[in-house]
Amino acid sequence: MISDHYHPPWTSRQGAEPVCLGRDRRHLAGDGGSPTGDGRHLPDDPDPPPGIIAQAAATAAIMMPGRFALGLGSGENLNEHVFGSHWPPAPVRIEMLEEAVEVIRLLWKGGMQDYYGAFYTLENAQVFSLPEDLPPIYIASEGPISASMAARVGDGFINPGSNAEKNLIIFRDSGGRR
């Protein structure tokens, strides 16, 4: 799993922060992206909207069949402050993430799709190249609210933080599997 932050998170000793969706033929690859983008479909957007993430993840899954998992989270203020973007509070970002997963799964059904949600809009959107087997979506969580949400909308759970055991219990008690 590879982080997607513009700045190296947590320590400057890390030096560089890559953006990567794959490595080689033997390893499962994933991205810990945050779909909290503002809807601008720009290639350099630090947090692209869910339609772009759906397309990128579908492409990676085609290129690495059975070896790609999409990791999503509500994000950290490591990218946005660099570009002067607004940073919503955690409860709002968690709602955005839940809706983003809904948008991604809708696009992965195929065909032309419209969606009008609280945070995202799609009009005549379609991901034309879909893999035979859709990748799992793992949800990153640092707290109980997002751990419960991960069980509802995700296929798995990522928790790199200090509350991993507590959040894993919440995830499993909420119906989460992986």
Residues annotated catalytic, as ranges = 5, 76
d(CA 77, CA 132): 35
Phi, psi (degrees; rounded to nearest 5) at 158:
-120, 130
- Give the number of C-alpha atoms closer than 13 A to the C-alpha of residue 119, restricted to the C-beta side: 20
* 113-116/156-158 β-pairing: unpaired
Phi-psi region of 116 (alpha: psi -120 to 50; beta: other; left: phi over 0): beta
56 burial type by CB count under 10 A (0-12 exposed, 13-18 middle, 19+ buried): middle
